[in-house]
Chains A and B, each alone.
Chain A
Amino acid sequence: MSLETFNPSKPFTFGIELEIQIVNTHDYDLTKAASDLMRLVKDQKVPGDIKLEITESMIELATGICTNYHQALTDLGVLRDVLVTAAEKLNVGLCGGGTHAFQQWSDRQISDEPRFHYISELYGYLAKQFTIFGQHVHIGCPDADSSLFLLHSLSRYIPHLIALSASSPFVQGMDTGFHSARLNSVFAFPMSGRAPFALTWSDFEEYYSKMISTGVIKSMKDFYWDIRPKPNFGTVEVRVMDTPLSIEKAAAIACYIQALARYLLLDKPLTLHEDDYLVYNFNRFEACRFGLAGMNVNPQNGERRTIAQDILMTLDALAPHAQELDCTDALVVVRKLVQAQTNDAVWLRDIYRKESSLHETVRQQCLLWRS
C-alpha cells in the first residue's frame, strides 16, 4: 500500500485529541463503560467527535479544526460536558492523567473492534499495558515538505511538551519517580520513538515503501512515533503529551505547539541536522524523569539548561506569534505553570501525600476534570 497523498491544510489550524480514563465511583479503579458511554452520546451534537479506544476503560474525544485558544477551550468544554453528563447517568467517573494510578494491566478488556483485536494479537500483553492516556495535537501544514520540516524542528521541543503535560507519576500503585511514566510504555513498541530523518516528502515516501515491503508495517497507523505526519489531514501530529488533568491545560499546551509551529515555519530559527537527534533520547528521558527541572542539552552548541528555563526563553520568542494567532492567554497559562514548577505530576504527588490514598487521588482527579 503506497503512502496517501498529502492534503494541504490551512497552516497553524489545530485539532486536539484527548484519551480519557473511565473509572468506577466505588474504588476509582478503571472500569468498563466505553461502549455504554458511546451509546449515550452518539446522538448528541458535538464539535469534533468521541470514539472508542483500545480498551473498554478509555474513550477519546477530539475537537474540530480550531484556530485559537478560546475556540479550543469552547470545543473541549462542550465535549467534556456531554461526556460528564453521560458518565453521571452511568455512575462512572472521567479523568485526565497519563496513567491510571493503580489499575492492574491484566484486568483490562480489549474493545471489540477488529483493529484492536489485531493489535492485541500482535503485541500480546503490551496491548493491555497500552492502557495509557495521551493528548495528541494536530497542526495544519501548507504542504508536504513543510510538514516534515516542522516535524523535525518540533523534535527539539519535545522535552518541553513532556514536562508541561506530565501527569503519570504512578503506575500500578507505585510512585515511579518519573513525571511521565506513560512514555516508557510507548517505548516498548518496536515502531516507537523518533521519525526517520527525511526532510522531503519524496524521501519520506521512499522510506515508507521500503518499510511496507519489509512487511513490518501495513499503514501509517503502525508507527507510534513521538511526532508523525498525517497526510490525509495535512497535519503533523504531536503525540508525546500525557492527557492533562484539565481541559484548560490541554488547550494551553496545544496553543503552545501552535505558536511554536508558526515560529518554526515562518522565522525558521533552526537549521536541521541528523545529529540533532544525538541528544534526543537523553533530553526526552530528562523530561520524563524530572519534569520541568530536567536538563535540556542544546544539540548544536551543547549548552545545558533546565527545561523550565528553556521554556521561559522560548515563550519570549513566541510572544509575537501568539499575538497573531490570538492565543496569548494560553501562553500566560504555560508561563504560570513553569514559574510555579507545578505540572500535573506534582499536583498528583501532593494530593497523594495529603491523603495517603491513591483511590482518593483518582477521585480528586475526576473532580478536577469536571470543574
Chain B
Amino acid sequence: MKSAFSYLPHWPLVPDTVFWVGLTLLMAGLCGELCWKAWRLPRITGYGVIGLLAGSAGFGVIDNALANDARFLMDVALGMLLFELGNRLNLRWIRTNPWLIATSLAEATLTFATVIIALQLMDVPLMTTTVIASIAIATSPTMVIQLKTELKSEGQVTERLLALTALNSMYAVILLELVSTWMHQEYYGNLFATLTEPLYLILGSLAIAYVLARSCQRVNLHDEHSFVILIGLVLLAIAVTHMLELSTLLALLTAGIILKNFDPRPQLWQAHFGTAGWLLTVVLFVITLISFQWTYLALGGFAALAMIGARMLAKLLGVLAFAKPSGISMKQGLALGLTLAPMSAFAYLLVENTYTLYPNFDPNLRAIMLSAILILQLFTPLLVYWSLSFIGERRQ
C-alpha cells in the first residue's frame, strides 16, 4: 500500500545477501588479521573459522541456497589458482631429475594404498574408501599457493611442494574419473556410457586446456591492461567447461602446464591474479567450511582421523624415500613430506562433484571428507608455516 511515508523502510529491516556476504568477509578479514598479528597463526585458519561459524555448523547466517550459488565462485577461484599452479610446473625439470617423478609416484601411490587400508580397517564401504583414497592423493593447491605467497617462501622445499601438488592434483582428478567408471556401471549399468564417460571428460577437458593455453600465449601477460584479457579468457574457459560438463579443475590445471611448457619464455602475471584473485581466495577458504555440520564429525570423525594419519605418514615416507637421490637433504625431505598435508577446497569440490553425478552416493563420503577437511584446513597451515621456518625458506 503506497502512502506518503513509503520512502521509509519496512520494519523490521531485512538484510539482503550482500549484507551477509559483507559481514562474513569483514569478520573473515578481522579474524585472519587477529590470528596473524596476535598469535602468529596463519590467516587462512582465521578465514576457515569464520566460514565454519557463518555456515550451518555455527550461526547459520549463510544458508545452503547461498552456499550453492557460491559453488560457481569456488570453481572460478580454484580454477584460477590451478591455472597458476600449473604454470609453475616445469616439465623439463622432471625430465632432467627423474627422481622427482619417483617421489611423486611414491607419495601418491602410498597415499592411495595406506588410506584404503586405514578405511577398510574402519569398515568404510569399499567404493567410498576408493573414492576417498583417490581424493586423498591431492594436496590443497589453494593452501599451497596462498601460503607460498603469504610467506614469500622460496627454495627447494617450496619449489618441490608446488610441483608435487600440481602432479598429485592431476592424479587425483584422473584416478577419481577412473574410479567413477565403476560407480557409473553400478548406478546406470550402461557399459557404453561407462567406457565413454571418462574418455569424454578427460579428453574434452584437455582440449579446452589446449585452446586456453594457446590463446593466452597470444596475450602479453606482463602488461597490466592485457591482464583483463587473461581473466576474461580464464573465465570463459571455466564457463565452457561448465556448459560441456567437463572438469574445470583438470582443464585449468593442464592449461597452466601447457602454457608454461610449450613456450619456454616466462609467462607471468601477478601472483594470485592480483587483488581480485586474492579476494576470491579468501572467499574460497570461507566457503569451503560453510556447509560443514557437526553431525559429520559424529558420523565420520574417527574414519577421518585414521585417513589423515595414514595420508600424512604415506606422503612423508614417499618423499623421504627419494629425498637424497632427488637432490635434497633428509631435513628438507621431512619438511616437504609434512607440507604436503593440506587439504581444502580442491577435495571439497571433488566430493561435491561426486554427489552431483551420483546424488544417492554413500553419505559417509561427505561426513568423512568434510571432517578431514575441517581438521586439515584449520591445522595444516600452521604445520606448513613451521616446516618452512624449520627449513629456512620463509621470509615473513
Q: Which residues of A pack against B, CB within 8 Å?
A: 24-28, 31-33, 36, 39-40, 86, 88-91, 107, 109, 355-357, 359-360, 363
Selected contact of A363 from candidates B264, B327, B328, CB within 8 Å? B264
CA distance A229 to B268 in the complex (A): 46
Q: Which residues of A contact B92 (CB under 8 A)?
A: 25
Contact indicator B393/A88 (Cβ below 8 Å): no
13 A–B pairs (Cβ distance < 8 Å), ordered by A: A24-B154, A26-B88, A36-B156, A39-B329, A40-B327, A89-B96, A90-B156, A91-B90, A91-B163, A107-B395, A355-B265, A357-B265, A363-B264
CA distance A89 to B395 in the complex (A): 24
CA distance A286 to B155 in the complex (A): 39
Q: Which residues of B contact A40 (CB under 8 A)?
A: 327
| For the complex of A and B, 5 pairs with smallest distance between CB atoms | A91-B93, A359-B266, A88-B96, A89-B327, A89-B97
Q: Check if B197 is an interface residue, CB within 8 A of chain A.
A: no
CA distance A355 to B267 in the complex (A): 12
Q: Would A32 and B96 be within 8 Å (CB), given that A91-B90, A357-B222, A357-B265 are in contact?
A: no
Q: Shortest Cβ distance from B135 into chain A, in angstroms?
A: 28
Q: Which residues of A contact B155 (CB under 8 A)?
A: 31-33, 36
Contact indicator B268/A27 (Cβ below 8 Å): yes
Q: Check if B352 is an interface residue, CB within 8 A of chain A.
A: no
Contact indicator A357/B93 (Cβ below 8 Å): no
Residue of B nearest to A25 (CB): B90
Return the CB mask of B308-329 against A: 1 if under 8 Å, else 0.
Answer: 0000000000000000001111
Q: Would A27 and B156 be within 8 Å (CB), given that A89-B96, A357-B222 are in contact?
A: no
Interface size on B, as a range, is 20 to 34
Q: Which residues of A contact B222 (CB under 8 A)?
A: 356-357, 359
CA distance A335 to B326 in the complex (A): 45
Q: Shortest Cβ distance from A105 into chain B, in angstroms?
A: 14
CA distance A86 to B265 in the complex (A): 22
Q: Check if B33 is an interface residue, CB within 8 A of chain A.
A: no
Contact indicator B266/A36 (Cβ below 8 Å): no
Q: Which residues of B contact A31 (CB under 8 A)?
A: 154-155
CA distance A28 to B222 in the complex (A): 14
Q: Shortest Cβ distance from A370 into chain B, in angstroms?
A: 12
Q: Which residues of A contact B265 (CB under 8 A)?
A: 355, 357, 360, 363
Q: Would A33 and B327 be within 8 Å (CB), given that A27-B266, A88-B97, A357-B222 are in contact?
A: no
CA distance A289 to B318 in the complex (A): 54
Q: Shortest Cβ distance from B274 into chain A, in angstroms?
A: 15
Q: Shortest Cβ distance from B46 into chain A, in angstroms?
A: 27
Q: Shortest Cβ distance from B100 into chain A, in angstroms?
A: 9
Residues of chain B in range 143-161 having any CB-CB distance to chain A below 8 Å:
152, 154-156, 159
Q: Shortest Cβ distance from A75 into chain B, in angstroms?
A: 24
Q: Would A109 and B266 be within 8 Å (CB), given that A32-B155, A36-B327, A91-B93 are in contact?
A: no
Q: Which residues of A contact B328 (CB under 8 A)?
A: 36
Q: Which residues of B contact A360 (CB under 8 A)?
A: 265-266
Q: Would A109 and B156 be within 8 Å (CB), given that A27-B268, A360-B265 are in contact?
A: no
Residue of B nearest to A86 (CB): B327
Residue of A nearest to B393 (CB): A32
Q: Which residues of A contact B329 (CB under 8 A)?
A: 39
Q: Shortest Cβ distance from A237 into chain B, in angstroms?
A: 32
Residue of B nearest to A362 (CB): B266
Contact indicator B266/A363 (Cβ below 8 Å): yes
CA distance A363 to B88 in the complex (A): 15
Q: Shortest Cβ distance from A250 into chain B, in angstroms?
A: 25
Residue of A nearest to B162 (CB): A26
Q: Which residues of B contact A39 (CB under 8 A)?
A: 329
CA distance A103 to B327 in the complex (A): 26
Selected contact of A88 from candidates B93, B154, B159, B268, CB within 8 Å? B93
Contact indicator A33/B268 (Cβ below 8 Å): no
Q: Shortest Cβ distance from A77 into chain B, in angstroms?
A: 19
Q: Shortest Cβ distance from B171 into chain A, in angstroms?
A: 20
CA distance A173 to B224 in the complex (A): 16
Residue of B nearest to A31 (CB): B154
Contacts A89-B96, A90-B327 known; 9 new A-B pairs at CB < 8 A = A24-B154, A25-B92, A26-B266, A86-B327, A88-B97, A91-B93, A355-B265, A356-B220, A359-B222
Q: Which residues of A contact B88 (CB under 8 A)?
A: 26
Q: Shortest Cβ distance from A355 into chain B, in angstroms?
A: 8
Q: Which residues of A contact B163 (CB under 8 A)?
A: 91
Q: Which residues of A contact B96 (CB under 8 A)?
A: 88-89
Q: Which residues of B contact A356 (CB under 8 A)?
A: 220, 222
Q: Shortest Cβ distance from B200 into chain A, in angstroms?
A: 33
Residue of A nearest to B260 (CB): A26
Q: Which residues of B contact A26 (CB under 8 A)?
A: 88, 90, 266, 268
CA distance A40 to B323 in the complex (A): 13
Q: Which residues of A contact B152 (CB under 8 A)?
A: 107
Contact indicator B156/A33 (Cβ below 8 Å): yes
Q: Would A28 and B266 be within 8 Å (CB), given that A39-B329, A89-B97, A91-B93 are in contact?
A: yes
CA distance A359 to B329 in the complex (A): 30
Q: Would A24 and B159 be within 8 Å (CB), given that A109-B395, A357-B222 are in contact?
A: yes
Q: Shortest Cβ distance from B341 into chain A, in angstroms?
A: 22
CA distance A109 to B153 in the complex (A): 12
CA distance A86 to B97 in the complex (A): 10
Residue of B nearest to A40 (CB): B327
Residues of chain B in range 164-221 having any CB-CB distance to chain A below 8 Å:
220
Q: Which residues of B contact A33 (CB under 8 A)?
A: 155-156
Residue of B nearest to A359 (CB): B266
Contact indicator A32/B154 (Cβ below 8 Å): yes
Q: Shortest Cβ distance from A253 into chain B, in angstroms?
A: 29
CA distance A89 to B156 in the complex (A): 10
